[in-house]
Chain A
C-alpha cells in the first residue's frame, strides 16, 4: 500500500513538472476546442490530434497530453449537449435530455457547473479507486497464459459488438471485419505475409493512425457534407454559473451514485461511458422523489449521468493499462497513442514503464483540475467557436488530419490510406455500421490470433485447453452468455415487430 502511494506520489511529481503541465494545458484546450464542435466526439478528437502528441518531448508528456485531450473532449461534448442539444459525443446524449431543458429555462450555468464539478468529483474518486485496483489487476494478469488472453479478447469483442448500441448482428459484422484487417501483414509466428499483395508499406500491418483518422475524422467530415444545410445552431444564454444550495442538495446523491456505477461499468470491456450514463439516469429517475421532473430540466438528470460517464472513462483505463485490452473505441485510440510512444500496455507496464503508468494516473487528476479551473469560466468562449462557419472548420480539420497523418512516418502511403479509410468511414456511417467494434477488433486481432494458436499448440491441437482452465473457461462462458443473450433479444425483438430499425435508432 505504502509502495503504491509512493509510486503515485512520484507520478504526481512528474506530471506536475512545468513541461508536463504545459502538455496538460495544451491537451485540455485542444480537446475542448475540437470536442465542442458538433459531431466530433472524443474518438475523433483524439484520432485527429494523435499525431500532434507524437512530437511531445517524452512518452509521459505525450500520454498526459492524450489524457487531457480525452477529458477536454468529454467536457466539450457535455457543453454542446447542454447548450445546443447537440451531443458532442455519444455518452452525452443522456445529458441532452435534462441539460438542454435547464438551458431553455435560463439555467445553463448551473447545468454546466454541475456537469463539470460532478465529472471532476467522479473522475477523482475513480482515479483513487484505480490507484488500488489497477495494480491488483496487473498482479492477477501476470499469471494469465494464452488461453486466458484468448478468452479475454473474445469477451472484449463480444461486449464491444453487442453493447455499443444498435443491432448486435451489425456489431458482430464489424468485429469480424476488424479481425480480418488486423491480420494483414507479416504473421509473427511463421513469418508468412498475409494479404499484403506485395505492398511493402503494409508488410508490418495496416497502420492504426491513418485508419483511425480516416474512419472517424475524414469519414465524419464527408458525412457532414451531406448534412451541412440543417440550419444554424443557436446557443442559449448561460446565465448564472454557480448552482444554488438546492441544486447542490439534489446533486450530491446522483454524483456519488454515478461515480460508483460509472466505475463498475467502466471496468467491463465494451461497457464504457454510454452504458454508464444510461444506467445512472435510469437509477436516478427511479430513486427520485420527483420523477416527473426528469425530462423537464431535473438537475439530477445531469449530475448522475455526467459523473457516471466520467467515472467510467477513468475506469476503462484499468483493462487498458493492466491487461493491454482496450475496453472501448476511445481506449483503443489511446492504446495506439501508447504504442506510438513505444509503451506496451499490459501487466508488465507496471514493471517496464512504471513512470508512465503512474504518470498517466496522476495526469488524470491534473487534467481534471485543469479543466475545472480553465474551462468553466471560459465556457462562453468555447461556444463562440460554434459561430466559426463550417466552410472553415471542415477544411481545417481535414488539413490537420492530412498533415498529422503524414507527420507520423513521413510516408505518402499513409495519406493514401487516410483517404481510403475516410471513404470506408463514410460508407459505414451511411450504412449505420459502427466503426468502434471494428477498431477494437483490429487492435485485438493479433492477440486473438497468437493466443489461439499458442493455446492450440499447448493443447496438442485441441480447444479443450481453453475450457479446461478455470479462468479462461469462466471468461469464455461470459462471452457466450453475452452474445447469446443479445442475439436472443434481437431475434425476439424482431418477432415482436420491434425490429432492428428501432433498436438502432
Chain B
C-alpha cells in the first residue's frame, strides 16, 4: 500500500494546529491589560486547519513516493542515539551509531564501517573537545 507523505504530513500538521487552538482557550484571548497570550496561537491554528484541508486536495504527483525503510530506520537509530547519549557518553554512542549507519544504510562491510566510524569519532573529538574546548562527556561516568 502506498502511504502518501502529503497525507501523513497533513494529518500531523492538522493535529498540531488543533493542539494550539485548544491550548489557546487556557491561555486566554483577552486579559484586563489587553490582548491575551492565546490570541495569536488560536488565530494561527484556526487558519492553518482549512489551509491544510485545501493543500490535501491538491493532486499528488507520481514522483511523491511512499516512505522508504532506510530513512525511517535512520530516524529510529538517531532517536536511540539521543536517548543513550547522556549516560553512555559521546565516544561509544557516536562510534556505534555511525558504524551502524554506514553498515546498514550504505551497505559497507563491517570493518570499513568500524574504521570510518572510529576515524569520524576521533575527528569530532579533536575538533570540538580538544581544539574548540567544548566540555563533553566522552565516556560513561563511573
Flag whether B23 is at the interface (Cβ < 8 A).
yes
Flag whether A225 is at the interface (Cβ < 8 A).
yes
- Provide the residues of chain A in CB contact with B71, threshold 8 Å: 222-223, 225-226, 426
Flag whether A106 is at the interface (Cβ < 8 A).
no
Asked whether A419 lies within 8 Å of B75 as measured between CB atoms, the reply is yes
Find B41's partner among A170, A194, A431, A500 (CB 8 Å cutoff). Answer: A194
Asked whether B8 lies within 8 Å of A431 as measured between CB atoms, the reply is yes
The interface bits of chain A over 388-410 (1 if a CB of B lies within 8 angstroms of the residue's CB, else 0) are 00111011101110111011001
Q: How far is the CA of A500 from the CA of B86 in the complex (A)?
A: 45
- Provide the residues of chain A in CB contact with B75, threshold 8 Å: 222, 419, 422-423, 426
Asked whether A399 lies within 8 Å of B120 as measured between CB atoms, the reply is yes
Q: Which of A111-119, A179-187, A255-263, A296-304 contacts B (4 or more CB under 8 A)?
A: A179-187
Flag whether A26 is at the interface (Cβ < 8 A).
no
Asked whether B120 lies within 8 Å of A195 as measured between CB atoms, the reply is no
- Provide the residues of chain A in CB contact with B96, threshold 8 Å: none
Asked whether A457 lies within 8 Å of B35 as measured between CB atoms, the reply is yes
Flag whether A192 is at the interface (Cβ < 8 A).
yes
Flag whether A36 is at the interface (Cβ < 8 A).
no
Where chain A touches its partner, the secondary structure class is helix
Q: How far is the CA of A172 from the CA of B13 in the complex (A)?
A: 13
Asked whether A167 lies within 8 Å of B98 as measured between CB atoms, the reply is no
How many contacting A-B pairs (Cβ < 8 A)? Answer: 189
- Tell me the minimal C-beta distance from B54 to chain A in angstroms: 5
Q: Which of A75-83, A243-251, A445-453 contacts B (4 or more CB under 8 A)?
A: A445-453
Asked whether A183 lies within 8 Å of B64 as measured between CB atoms, the reply is no
How many chain-A residues does the 8 Å CB contact rule pick out?
68
Q: How far is the CA of A222 from the CA of B75 in the complex (A)?
A: 8
- Provide the residues of chain A in CB contact with B65, threshold 8 Å: 226, 430
- Provide the residues of chain B in CB contact with A180, threshold 8 Å: 16-17, 20, 41, 44-45, 48
Flag whether A264 is at the interface (Cβ < 8 A).
no
Asked whether A407 lies within 8 Å of B41 as measured between CB atoms, the reply is no
Asked whether A407 lies within 8 Å of B31 as measured between CB atoms, the reply is no
Find B106's partner among A172, A390, A399, A461 (CB 8 Å cutoff). Answer: A390
Q: How far is the CA of A38 from the CA of B134 in the complex (A)?
A: 30
Flag whether B110 is at the interface (Cβ < 8 A).
no
The interface bits of chain B over 102-123 (1 if a CB of A lies within 8 angstroms of the residue's CB, else 0) are 1001101000000011001101
Asked whether B35 lies within 8 Å of A452 as measured between CB atoms, the reply is yes
Asked whether B74 lies within 8 Å of A501 as measured between CB atoms, the reply is no
Asked whether A453 lies within 8 Å of B101 as measured between CB atoms, the reply is no
Asked whether B48 lies within 8 Å of A391 as measured between CB atoms, the reply is no
- Tell me the minimal C-beta distance from B75 to chain A in angstroms: 5
- Tell me the minimal C-beta distance from B61 to chain A in angstroms: 4
- Tell me the minimal C-beta distance from B117 to chain A in angstroms: 7
Q: How far is the CA of A465 from the CA of B134 in the complex (A)?
A: 50
Task: Give residues of chain A (173-193) contacting chain B, Cβ–Cβ below 8 Å.
Answer: 173, 176-177, 179-180, 183, 187, 189-190, 192
Task: Give residues of chain B (77-131) contacting chain A, Cβ–Cβ below 8 Å.
Answer: 78-79, 81-83, 85-86, 90, 94, 98, 101-102, 105-106, 108, 116-117, 120-121, 123-124, 127-128
Find B40's partner among A398, A430, A448 (CB 8 Å cutoff). Answer: A448
Who on chain B is nearest to A441 by CB?
B44
Find A218's partner among B78, B106, B116 (CB 8 Å cutoff). Answer: B78
16 contacts between A and B (CB under 8 A): A173-B48, A177-B16, A177-B17, A183-B40, A187-B27, A190-B31, A190-B36, A195-B41, A222-B75, A400-B124, A403-B128, A415-B85, A423-B78, A423-B79, A430-B9, A431-B9
B binding-site residues for A, Cβ under 8 Å: 5-6, 8-10, 12-13, 16-17, 19-20, 23, 27, 31, 33-41, 44-45, 47-48, 51-52, 54-55, 58-61, 64-65, 67-68, 70-71, 74-75, 78-79, 81-83, 85-86, 90, 94, 98, 101-102, 105-106, 108, 116-117, 120-121, 123-124, 127-128, 132, 134-136
Rank and list the top 9 A-B pairs by shortest CB-CB distance, nearest first.
A391-B106, A430-B5, A431-B9, A176-B48, A187-B37, A500-B58, A453-B35, A431-B5, A222-B71
Apart from A183-B40, A431-B8, A500-B58, list 20 A-B contacts with CB within 8 A: A52-B132, A169-B55, A180-B17, A180-B48, A183-B41, A225-B105, A226-B68, A392-B120, A396-B123, A399-B94, A412-B86, A419-B81, A419-B82, A427-B5, A430-B5, A431-B5, A432-B5, A445-B40, A452-B35, A456-B35
